[in-house]
Structures are given as structure tokens and as C-alpha cells.
Amino acid sequence: MSAPRARHMLAALAVAASLMTLAAACGDKGTPNASPTTTDEGTLETATPSPTTDASATQPPVVVTTTTTTTQAANPYPNNAKDYGLALLAGIKANNETRIVDLSSSSVYQNVTANNYSNLNGQWTYSNCESGACFYYNATGSYAQVGIDGSKVGKAHAGTYVSVEGHTFRTDALGYISDLINAWQNGSLVGMNALATDSAVSFLRGGRMIPTGSVFTAAQACGSGKVCAASGTEVAGGQPFGQITCYTVQTDRMGKADAIVGAKDGFCS
């Protein structure tokens, strides 16, 4: 080979080598120069370079607040005499010895069992509390008296005794009124509350003389669904005499509580 030709080939090889070096340094356009990594699944992925500035670094930290609510068990001992008596009566209706003894005593439970109080209608309505006892009437007309030790209300064993008077609500107007007068004469507020509405009871207790007799006029219609009859304390010519009171009875309540819905002075007009 002649010398000029050899020099020409050497120059061409040098240019080619320079071009290859430049291509390796630059790589493909738009493709980062990165090394492949292996994922958990065993496939290859190309790792993306992290940006120069971490955007999350400029954000405030997120604070997570956890609120824990503690619910305390309800106190099994009512904190007032009225509800304490109702709770004891509910335990009697359920024939729950544990609950009855917890609210009263084993001797009260024995008395309840001996008198079969658990077989009574258990729909009790509060009447009043006085002199260490609370009074209730049920849906069939019986009256319950529950002794309450005020120093133990809100705690165990506040109930000191339970007694029940068996009564039934009358289904005739004059009999119903007669029972109300008897309750009035005997000072039985629970009986009056069971038989008459609050307004009628308030009228009868408003300083009036308690009747000593029960002579009635015949019941007569005195409005839609109502009958009226008057009572007096003495007899004069077969008619009520003396203190006359007119009672209004709602007929669809006879045989239930609160059938006497009104009372006023004088004969029924």
C-alpha cells in the first residue's frame, strides 16, 4: 500500500472513532441516562431521577387527631323517689328476683312473691310521693304503695316495702263517680288521680268540704261522648241536697283511668 493511501485510511478511522464517542456521550434525544432496576415481580423498570426540589418539603405536615369517647354505664339506681319506685315495680312485673332484692331487700321479695304481685298488670302510672312513700295506679285500677328510704335514693336498697290494693275501674258512670267520692273521703290521692283528670282533682281538693254521702241524680248526656250526674251529701225528697257537685264522665274512658273529666258546683244543667 502506498503511503498516501495509508494516511487517508488512518484519517477516516479517526473521524469514525470520534463520532462514536460523541454519540455514546449524548445518548438518544429526550431519554434520561438511567440504569434499569428490578421490581418485586421480577420485571425491569427504568428508574426516574428525583427532581432537584422536593415539592412536599414546602408543605406543612399533616396532623391527625384521634378522639376517644368513653361511655359510662347508666346508673342502675334512679336518683329520684318517683323513678326508683317505678323501677322496683318494673322488676316485680318481670319477676326478676335479683333486681327486686337489689332495689329493696330479700324480705320485700318474699312479700312480693307471697302476694303474687308479679301477676298484676304492670302498666303503672305515677300519682304522688309523700311521707316516705310513692303511690302509683295501674291500667286495671289497682293502687301500689312503695316505701322509699330517701337517704339511699341513687344507690341500692332504697325500697323498704311494697303493698298493692286491688281495685278495678267501673264501667258505669254512677259507680265510677261513687269510687271517686270514696277516694276523696278516704284521703286517697292516688285513687282520685286514677279516677279523674288533674283539673277535676284540683277542683275537688280546692278547700271544698268532703262529701259524707253519695245520693245521685240520674246520669244524662251532656255533650258528645259524655254523661253528667250530680251528687249530694244529704237526702231531701229523694234528691241530692246540701253540697251539690256535678261530675262529667267521658264514656269511652269508663273501665280505664281518668274517666271523670270535669267537676263543678251545683246541679248539672
pLDDT tens, residue by residue, 46-56: 344 444 445 44
CA distance 189 to 208: 15
d(CA 117, CA 111): 9
With bands split at pLDDT 50, 70 and 90, how would you rate the model's confidence at 81? Answer: very high
Q: Which amino acid is at 234?
A: E
Q: Kindly indicate the confidence band of residue 262, based on its pLDDT and cuts at 50, 70 and 90.
A: very high
Mean local confidence (pLDDT), 13-30: 41
Percent residues over pLDDT 70 in the chain? 72
Consecutive H or E run containing 147 = strand 143-148
Q: What is the mean pLDDT of the chain?
A: 81
What pLDDT, in 10s, does the model give residues 214-224?
899 999 999 99
Banded model confidence at residue 59, pLDDT cuts 50, 70, 90: low
Tell me if residue 78 falls in helix, strand or coil: coil
Reported confidence tier of residue 152, pLDDT bands at 50, 70, 90: very high
Q: How many CB atoms lie within 10 A of CB 253?
A: 18
> For 87-109, what is each residue's pLDDT tens digit?
999 999 999 999 999 999 999 99
Confidence band, pLDDT 50/70/90 cuts, at residue 139: very high
210, pLDDT greater than 80? yes
pLDDT of residue 65: 44
**Claim: this prediction has a pTM higher than 0.95:** no
Residue 71 has pLDDT above 70, yes or no: no
160 pLDDT above the threshold of 80: yes
Distance of CA 11 to CAs 17, 72, 259, Å? 10, 96, 129
State the pLDDT at residue 207. 82
28 pLDDT more than 60: no
